Every structure is written in structure tokens, then in C-alpha cells.
Structure 1
Amino acid sequence: MSERLPSRFRIVPRDAAVRRRSTSFLFVLAWAGTLAAAWFIASHTAAPRLAQADAARKRAEQALAAARGTLDSLQQRESTLARSDQISRAANAEVQDALAERDEEIAALRADVAFYERLVGSTSQRKGLGVHVAEFESASGGTWRYQIMLTQTLNRGAISQGQMRFTVEGVRDGKLAAVAWDELHQQRSAPGQAYSFRYFQQLDGSVMLPPGFTPQRVKVTLHGDDAAVEQAFDWKTATAAGGK
């Protein structure tokens, strides 16, 4: 008798199959309900929080923009104030320099007034055109700077005009010698220094003495329309007055 092969089919009672499909349907339905509940809870809890977070982000961006604007404004103001302070400092320095120059001018004018008062005061003796003082000071390059003050108080309403020259006398190569105006200026026919004043005038300039020459005195001559004056000054006294 041949052996029977097992069958690929299985006989299941109908009620059992129905119960299985019902169970699967209920499971799917429960899973869908769970998803719906989760979506509902999320939409009613997370969504408001998301909206609040978005609103907070916008407020933060606005605050940041305002802070940046304020920072730019403050930086611009600081730059403007720094520039203004720099300009003020420069202007103040210019004012201080100008005041210092004015103080020097005032001091010089006061000295001139004091000299004028001594010169033409009620107790002073009136004198004609003359050389009040001659000063010499050594400068660079072997040159000598001079300041010669001319005065006249005899005729207070007149203007003294003319030319001033001087000659330096001394010793050269063991012999007496004189260095004239032309040689002092190292040119031929050097013009005299013009003067024109009512009471006093200071003449300034520079000359050069030749090498090997030892000065001993300076002789100043004034040639005007109505006067000719010649005065001599000791060189040591003239250079001592000039700061030597």
C-alpha cells in the first residue's frame, strides 16, 4: 500500500479565519487612531509653541537690527567727535602760537616805547642824527651779523634819510688795515644801506671779514641830504653788546 503525501492545503474553520481578519482590522484601526491622536496632540501643543518661537525669533532679529543701527550711529558719532577734537586741538595750538607771536610783538613794542621815552623824554638831551649803538655777532660760515641803531631828536618833526656804511679797522699780516664796505660785502660798488626815520631806526644785515684779519674797531658813516656823520666803536665793545 503506497504512502500518502502530506497535503499543501490546510483546512481552517471559517470562524477562526474571520476572527483573524477582524483582529487585523482592529489592529490597523487602532494604529490609525493612535496616529490621529498623535497628530491632534502635536497640532494643539507643538504648533502654538512653534508660532511663539517664530515670533520670538522675529523679535530677536528686530532687536539685533536696532542694536546694529545704534552701534553704527555711536561709531559715527565717536568718529565725528574724535575728528572735532582733533580740529579743536589744532585750532587751539594755532591760537596759542598766534598769542605767543603777539606777546613777542607786544614785548618788542614796549621795549621800543621805553627806548623812545628815554630818547625824547622831557629830561633827555636833544641830539642830531647819530649812531646810538652798533652790535656785531658771529654767525655761521665766517659771517658777522650786525644791528646798528640810528637816532635823532634835535628836529622832532623832520625825517632823516640817507645811506649807512661802515668800515672795519684792524690788523692783517702784522700791519694796520681797513676792510671797506665793498670788501665786507664781497662786491664792487656795493650800495649803502638806506635809512629813513623820524626818531630812531634799527638796521640789520651781515658781512664777512677776510681770513687772517683781526678787527679792532668799526667806523660807521651816515650820508644824508643835510647831514654827514662818522662814529667809531671799539670792536670788543660792539661784539660784547652783540652777545660775545
Structure 2
Amino acid sequence: MNEPSPPPEAVGKPAPERHQGHGLAYTVIAVFLLALVFGAWGLWKVFAPAPGDASAQLEEQRERIAALEQNVANLTRSDQISRNANTALQGTLAERDEEIAGLRADVAFYERFVGATGQRRGLTVHALSLKPQDAQAWHFVATLTQNLNRGAINQGRATLSVEGTRDGRMQQLDWSSLRQQPDAPGVDYSFKYFQRVEGDVLLPPGFKPVRVIVRLQPKGGTAVERSFTWADATGAQAPGQQ
């Protein structure tokens, strides 16, 4: 005997439940992915700089770099100026120290010279100094002294002559040659105890000086001469000598 068939409405009932489960899962996944997309987009909008902000930031960095570079350049120039000023100051101080030492030595000498115990001497050239101005020009300073006739005024003129070699031959240059002026007048002097007279002389090219002679011609008296080696007068080796 045949069994009765199930009612038509009972066939396929579980299928709708399975389809509904899959649809719900797909919906959840779609919502999750959409949330991820919107979340990523939101993060990018928050943290990514806007085009206008990036340009402004770049320009600000450039201005800051330029300011720092200018500051470094200013500090470098200031440091160089300070170094130059310090070098110049040190040179000036050294020159002043040398000048003070020379003046103290002069004062000590003159104190002995005019003192009661000083040795009596007539008109003479106490010292001679020559300093180069260029290759041929020299500036001289001669110190003249006398303490034999106290209170008497010594007046006259001082001249120089230089002995040396030129083209292997001995030669003496007189005052007019050294001054490059015919009948050049000497340097006037007038003093009681001491005086410094100075002037300039010019040596010809190729001339090698060896000795300097200072001549004093007082008014109404006998001329006085004193010689100095070129090395002693210049404090250095004569030009052209080895």
C-alpha cells in the first residue's frame, strides 16, 4: 500500500531561511567594508595637508632657512671684524710698547747727559736711524747732542753722505745726490743740549750702501762728522747684501 505524499506547502520550507541568512551576512560585510572605506577617507582628510597649507608651510621653511643663513653670515662677518680689530689693536699696543721703551731709554740718557755727573762733550751726533720708505727712499733721524757749553745755543746745518758700491766700484753719494737737488741745503738745527733732526734721502738703483756719514756744520765753527755702518743705522742688513 502506497504512503501518502507530504503536503505541497511543506516541501522546500528550509530554503527561504538559508537565503535569508546569506543575505544578512552579505549586508553586514558590505556595511563593514563601506565603514572601512569611509573611515580611511576620513583619516586621509584629517591628516593629509591641504594643497594650500603645504605651499604655505614650504614658503615658511624657505623664509626660515634664509633668515638662518643671513644670521650665520652676519655672525661670520662680525667675527672677522672682531678678529681684524683685535689684530690691529695688538699691533698698536706693540708699537706703543716699543715707543714707550725707546722714550724711557732716551729719558734715562738725557738725564745722565744733562746731570751733574754727565761727561762733558761738545757737539756730536749721538745716534742715527734710517727707515725704508720704498726700494730706494729712506727716512733718517739723527740725534744731536752737546753739554760742553751749558746754556749756549748750537746752530747750524746737518747733511748726510753715503758710501757704497755700484757696478763693483766704490762710490760716495753727497747730500745733493741723495736729495736729487743741486746745492741742496742741509737740515737746520738749533738747540742747547740735544735735538733730533730728520729728512729723506734717495739711493740710486743698483747702489749697495756700506756706510753713512753725518756732517754738522755749525755757524762760525768747525764742522763735525761721525760715521755709522749701514747695518747699524738701519738695524738690518743692507739691501742687496747677502
Describe the SS at the equivalent of 1:220: strand
- CA shift at 1:158, angstroms? 7.1
Q: How does 1:12-23 map to 2 (within 5 A)?
A: none
2:130/2:140 contact within 8 Å kept: yes
Q: How does 1:5-84 map to 2 (within 5 A)?
A: 38=30, 41=32, 43-58=34-49, 61=54, 65=58, 70-84=64-78
How many aligned positions are there?
Answer: 200
Matched, 1:200 2:200: no
Could you say if the C-alpha distance between residues 93 and 159 of structure 1 is closer, same or farther in structure 2, counting changes exceeding 3 Å? farther
Distance in 2, matches of 1:216 and 1:68, equals: 71
Aligned counterpart in structure 1 of residue 107 of structure 2, from 101, 107, 113: 113
Scaled by the length of structure 1, the TM-score of the pair is: 0.55
2:160/2:212 contact within 8 Å kept: no
- CA shift at 1:154, angstroms? 5.4
Aligned counterpart in structure 2 of residue 123 of structure 1, from 117, 121, 128: 117
Could you say if the C-alpha distance between residues 222 and 134 of structure 1 is closer, same or farther in structure 2, counting changes exceeding 3 Å? farther
Distance in 2, matches of 1:136 and 1:74, equals: 54
Gaps of 5+ in 2: 1-22, 164-171, 205-209, 238-242
Which residue of structure 2 aligns with residue 3 of structure 1? none
Which residue of structure 2 aligns with residue 165 of structure 1? 159
Could you say if the C-alpha distance between residues 92 and 193 of structure 1 is closer, same or farther in structure 2, counting changes exceeding 3 Å? same
Distance in 2, matches of 1:151 and 1:55, equals: 98
- CA shift at 1:90, angstroms? 1.9
Q: Mark the structure with the bigger radius of gyration.
A: 1
Distance in 1, matches of 2:69 and 2:173, equals: 72
Gaps of 5+ in 1: 1-29, 170-177, 210-214
Distance in 2, matches of 1:141 and 1:73, equals: 50
Describe the SS at the equivalent of 1:58: coil
1:135/1:239 contact within 8 Å kept: no
Aligned counterpart in structure 1 of residue 225 of structure 2, from 223, 229, 232: 232
1:127/1:152 contact within 8 Å kept: yes
Look up the equivalent residue of 1:221 and give its one-letter code: L
2:126/2:145 contact within 8 Å kept: yes
Aligned residues with identical type, % of pairs: 36
Look up the equivalent residue of 2:225 and give its one-letter code: A
Scaled by the length of structure 2, the TM-score of the pair is: 0.55
Could you say if the C-alpha distance between residues 50 and 185 of structure 1 is closer, same or farther in structure 2, counting changes exceeding 3 Å? same
- CA shift at 1:150, angstroms? 0.8
- CA shift at 1:152, angstroms? 3.0
Distance in 2, matches of 1:129 and 1:48, equals: 112
- CA shift at 1:124, angstroms? 0.5
Q: What CA deviation, in whole Å up to 9, does each residue of 1:17-58 have, x standing for no partner?
A: xxxxxxxxxxxxx8xxx79984x5555332232222222123
CA RMSD, aligned part only?
A: 5.1
Distance in 2, matches of 1:223 and 1:192, equals: 11
Distance in 2, matches of 1:141 and 1:91, equals: 30
1:136/1:241 contact within 8 Å kept: no
Which residue of structure 2 aligns with residue 86 of structure 1? 80
1:148/1:204 contact within 8 Å kept: no
- CA shift at 1:232, angstroms? 3.3
Look up the equivalent residue of 1:107 and give its one-letter code: A
